[in-house]
Structure 1
Amino acid sequence: MTADQVILLDEEGNRIGVHAKAHVHHRNTPLHLAFSCYVFDTNARLLLTRRALTKQTWPGVWTNSCCGHPLADEPIDDAVVRRLKDELGLAAVGPLELRLPRFRYRATMADGVVENEICPVFSATVDTQPTPNPAEVGEFLWLPWQDFAGSVLDGTRDVSPWCRLQVTELDGLGPDPLSWPRGHTADLPPAARLTL
């Protein structure tokens, strides 16, 4: 499988095939496997990113630190590390922690294009500054987690639809993201558990 394909899933999260990433997003986007990662510094500030204007879905929208899709034979945690390096130039990250193993969402852009993913959520800690790939990230900034979460939850900060939903769940894990409880790998969708 090449990097431009995504893993297709059934409703239970089992792998049922692959599809070209360039052609998977449309008005009837099939369910597929993805991930999100929230990167923090040692002061619990979140690395917030603005998607590049050339992105196919939600261009120019502020969102969590990093998103992506695992390759067919790639452990999902390896995929997160790969994308942190490719998108943000973060080659050294602290422990990668699974936070929301069951997160799933479906969202529709104004033009009718749909995103439809089972998307486990991870967090990581860094002590270096990112050097973003401009094809992926237009801007970035660091915000204290509680300030960021509060502004998303009260509707004063506009973010991607998946980020808004994830923040709602992550907020329930506690006020300090550096001490959130770990998710269980057994709760991941089967397609993600098979590659761990």
Structure 2
Amino acid sequence: MTSDEHVVLVDGEGNPVGTAPKSTVHGDDTPLHLAFSSYVFDAAGNLLLTTRAAHKLTWPGVLTNSCCGHPLPGEPLPAAVTRRLSHELGLTVESVDLLLPGFAYRATMANGTVEHELCPVYRALAAGPANFNPEEVGSVRWMPWKEFADQVLSGELEISPWAREQVPQLVALGPDPLRWPVGDPAKLPPAARL
């Protein structure tokens, strides 16, 4: 990330209302902004989990889904997913599919830092191994989807607040993550329809 990387600010209906430097948007009064979450699978349906780097501003050291990030102004979300998977995990992907076009969340850390995102969720299929960037990621591991989802739903596995909200919605798409139906891009927030 460059120091002048900007995120897209959105209103409550998902319309773009401007941009702001990424370095300034995460605090105790974080404005709603456009982001994405991605779940990377291998050909056997195993999920790539990551632990966030210990020096991250939000949820440092927390286990989470494969990769999250922010599209640059004017950048289509699938391109942002591909860019961040390459940067954070050294991954090349075979495909990037929209799953949950309207997902949004707001979560507050113990220190008062707020994450407030309109955050469509994507599935990506890995074309090779992960080689994570320690500036972004503390560790990685693969886990069968059902095992992961069962542990999240039972509360046995502690994960990021956004993934905890996303997993039940993904489970509702069916038991096989490689066969989940692709979401309707017309249901993306207006700021993400590029």
Distance in structure 1 (CA, Å) of the matches to 2:18 and 2:50:
31
Give the unaligned 5+ runs of structure 1.
none
Deviations 1:96-129 (A, max 9, x none): 1000000000000000110000000000111421
Deviations 1:120-163 (A, max 9, x none): 00001114210000000000000000000000000000000000
Q: Match of 1:54, SS?
A: coil
Percent identity of equivalent pairs:
57
* TM-aligned CA deviation for residue 4 of structure 1: 2.0
* Aligned amino acid, residue 22 of structure 2: K
Deviations 1:66-101 (A, max 9, x none): 0000001211110110000000001x2112100000
How has the CA–CA distance of structure 1 residues 150 and 3 changed in structure 2, closer, same or farther, with 3 Å as cutoff? farther
Q: Match of 1:170, SS?
A: helix
Distance in structure 2 (CA, Å) of the matches to 1:13 and 1:2:
25
TM-score, structure 1 as length reference: 0.96
1:190 aligns with 2:190: yes
* TM-aligned CA deviation for residue 189 of structure 1: 0.3
* Aligned amino acid, residue 72 of structure 1: P
Q: Which residue does the alignment assign to 2:142?
A: 142
Aligned counterparts, 1:42-121, within 5 A? 42-90=43-91, 92-121=92-121
Answer whether contact 1:46 1:145 (CA < 8 A) is retained. Answer: yes
Distance in structure 2 (CA, Å) of the matches to 1:81 and 1:126:
11
1:173 aligns with 2:173: yes
How has the CA–CA distance of structure 1 residues 3 and 132 changed in structure 2, closer, same or farther, with 3 Å as cutoff? farther
Distance in structure 2 (CA, Å) of the matches to 1:84 and 1:170:
20
* Aligned amino acid, residue 24 of structure 2: H
Answer whether contact 2:3 2:23 (CA < 8 A) is retained. Answer: no
* Aligned amino acid, residue 17 of structure 1: G
Answer whether contact 1:38 1:66 (CA < 8 A) is retained. Answer: yes
Q: Which residue does the alignment assign to 1:129?
A: 129
* TM-aligned CA deviation for residue 3 of structure 1: 5.8
Distance in structure 2 (CA, Å) of the matches to 1:74 and 1:56:
24
Distance in structure 2 (CA, Å) of the matches to 1:94 and 1:185:
19
* TM-aligned CA deviation for residue 44 of structure 1: 0.3
Deviations 1:18-67 (A, max 9, x none): 11111111111000000010000000000000000011100000000000
Q: Which residue does the alignment assign to 1:20?
A: 21
1:38 aligns with 2:39: yes
* Aligned amino acid, residue 143 of structure 1: M
